Structure 1
Amino acid sequence: MRILVCTKMDLAGALILNTLLPRLADCKVMVLMSEKTRPVENTVPELAEIKFYERDLPVDILFPLLDRAEVGRGEAPRARLETFAALSARYGITIESITDLNGPDGEARIRAFAPDLTISARFSLIFKPNTYDIPPLGTYNIHPGALPRYAGLFAPFRCMLDGSDAIGCTLHRVDKGIDTGPIVGIGYLPVDRSRSLLWHVVNTYRPGLDLFLAMLDGLRQGREPQYAVQDFSQRQYVSLPGAEPFADFRAKGLKLFEPNEYLEILSGFLPPDMAMPSAVARAVNNGRGDPCCSAPA
């Protein structure tokens, strides 16, 4: 089977590929990566902070250091998690950035690969019919929120702010709307209020990935997915938050970021014999305005 995987060039995207690619080893896979930054992510301090830890630090600082260190390691023990470059080399797959998904070039790239199935998870670009109709088995999205209520952006934040006990992750088929397609299933990550938003974000996708892999096993055996139509009367589509919701989040004693927890996540990418690079540790501990990303004392 030929599978197109669409995700984001950030920490969560790397974790998604580390989960998916070992399970797709018998498939022909191409990966397309979005790198989109919305203007508000550079103007709202909390969003800029989150962007730094989700994207800038791992992709621009840690992963290049690890890729350089990998040269010449030979048979030395490998890390539990791998960078984008290491994943590409290990599985012999193409991992490419894309900015214009539905234009002539983007459509041509997808048609040239001729996927049987497309799966999107944390992909910042919106599919249109000329691209989501290409794979005969369909295009599916893993949305980090329970649809239809948590449509739109930043759903784990909204869910925690609402005081929910669990964050849903929805596997749905892509159609002409945004987060509107029929639902295959919803998995849930229990909310742990002692942990940060960032921890919840990077872990929310796993239940949706499990649903996708189960669906894929069914497709391989000739079973068609069963769908549930969304009740749009329950839909609450929201974009990225401004300052006030972040103030409410902190007032509830919730954290956006926690340094030790974050370093624990990053440590999964380190070989067993490597310490955390000092440049990364300094950036985390000294870093990008910790007061806005921690619970108040």
Structure 2
Amino acid sequence: MAFFVGNDITSHLIVGQVLSDVLRAGHTPYICYTHQQPGARAEPELRELFRYERTLLHSWVHPYLDSLPAPLHGTLLSPAGIAKLHRDKAVVRVVEDVNDPAFIAYLAAEDVRAGFSVRCYQKFRAPLINHFRPEPGEPALFANLHPGILPRYRGVLTFARSMLQGETEAGFTLHRVNEDWDAGGIVSLSTAPLRYDRSVLENMTDQRGQAAGLLLDAIEQAAAHGRWTDRPQDPAEAGYYSHLRRADLDELHRKGIELFRPRAVIELLVDAFTRAGSPESFELRGILAGITSRRPEAVGTPV
């Protein structure tokens, strides 16, 4: 099975949590890391969110972990750490274009027949989707783990949209991939209460265990039956949200809703990738605290 993984904290936490169960079940995961670039015209708050949600992980946490003599057992791993520790059981790749014909041919040659997108922001095209069809005309064994309750909250930053709307809960939806954004049949759904004393990012990462459970259930069903049962989304209930605009960000501020809290992000990364009380945890916490105490531009520039 292939995992198409975004370059954000949440997707790495979810896939890292799933990995041990997938390996224990005897499956060979093909973990395909993808990348999203910051929007050139994004508002300052969104650029800062990008730095904390993505750049800290890739420019500082992963290089620090990869500098250690060996991967830290019992913690989440960097892509290089997964490749090193599980080199005979998992395949790790960086994929620039998931729709590249050569990449699809590679999946076919490796007989990878089920796919899962975890916050991959590339648009999946028909050739890749068709690769995951068990037979022509059958639904593809290809699902997207969407952070948002479908069909009402399609699009991006839907936890922020849910909090702007004053919702009492938010969640993750596992749905089939088709060529439309977030529109395929719903395979499964999980929800949890929103906490307005926590940031948008914290509310989303708090649900990573439930999100991982959706993936594991679908993997088990695919392995046992080669199919999923799904229900179509009702277009009349659908709502699609693009990136937050200035007015949206101002409203978040007026309502006292934070996109993220820097100290909480640091603690989340340290707790996920090092053992509590270990020398590595103190060292990584110090590195991240030092980097984030500098001017914002420094967050993306290792020294």
Q: Give the whole-Å Cα distance in 2 for the aligned partners of 1:212 and 1:98.
A: 21
Most deviating of 277-286 and 42-51: 277-286
* CA apart distance, 1:202: 2.7
Q: Is 1:50 aligned to 2:58, yes or no? A: no
Distance 1:105 1:224, change over 3 A: closer
Partner of 2:5: 7
Q: Is 1:151 aligned to 2:150, yes or no? A: no
Normalising by the residue count of structure 2, what TM-score does the alignment of the two structures yield? 0.86
* CA apart distance, 1:147: 0.7
After TM superposition, the structure 1 = structure 2 runs for residues 86-165 of structure 1, keeping only pairs within 5 Å, are 86-92=81-87, 93-135=90-132, 136=134, 138-165=141-168
- Percent same amino acid among aligned pairs? 24
Contact 1:11–1:59 (CA under 8 A) maintained in structure 2: no
Most deviating of 196-205 and 259-268: 196-205
Distance 1:221 1:94, change over 3 A: closer
Q: Is 1:211 aligned to 2:214, yes or no? A: yes
Distance 1:111 1:213, change over 3 A: same
Partner of 2:20: 22
Q: Give the whole-Å Cα distance in 1 for the aligned partners of 2:83 and 2:131.
A: 24
Distance 1:79 1:258, change over 3 A: farther
Q: Give the whole-Å Cα distance in 1 for the aligned partners of 2:45 and 2:77.
A: 28
Partner of 1:83: 78
Contact 1:184–1:227 (CA under 8 A) maintained in structure 2: yes
Partner of 2:33: 33
Partner of 1:270: 274
Contact 2:15–2:212 (CA under 8 A) maintained in structure 1: no
* CA apart distance, 1:107: 2.1
Give 2:63's aligned amino acid.
Answer: P
Q: Give the whole-Å Cα distance in 2 for the aligned partners of 1:287 and 1:11.
A: 22
Q: Give the whole-Å Cα distance in 1 for the aligned partners of 2:94 and 2:222.
A: 28
**Secondary structure of the residue that 2:225 maps to in structure 1?**
coil
Please list the CA deviations of residues 40-64 of structure 1 after superposition, one character each: whole Å capped at 9, or x if unmatched: 5x53101100110111111101220
Q: Give the whole-Å Cα distance in 2 for the aligned partners of 1:244 and 1:176.
A: 30
Please list the CA deviations of residues 98-153 of structure 1 after superposition, one character each: whole Å capped at 9, or x if unmatched: 22221323322322332121011111111112101212261011000111111111
Q: Report the RMSD for the aligned CA atoms in angstroms.
A: 2.1
Unaligned 5+ segments in structure 1 are: 290-297
Q: Give the whole-Å Cα distance in 1 for the aligned partners of 2:188 and 2:54.
A: 29
Match of 1:281 among 289, 293, 303: 289
Contact 2:52–2:262 (CA under 8 A) maintained in structure 1: no
Contact 1:67–1:83 (CA under 8 A) maintained in structure 2: yes
Q: Is 1:253 aligned to 2:256, yes or no? A: yes
Normalising by the residue count of structure 1, what TM-score does the alignment of the two structures yield? 0.87
Q: Give the whole-Å Cα distance in 1 for the aligned partners of 2:111 and 2:73.
A: 33
- How many pairs were matched up? 282
* CA apart distance, 1:257: 1.9
Distance 1:171 1:103, change over 3 A: same
Contact 2:141–2:222 (CA under 8 A) maintained in structure 1: no
Contact 2:5–2:119 (CA under 8 A) maintained in structure 1: yes
**Secondary structure of the residue that 1:5 maps to in structure 2?**
strand
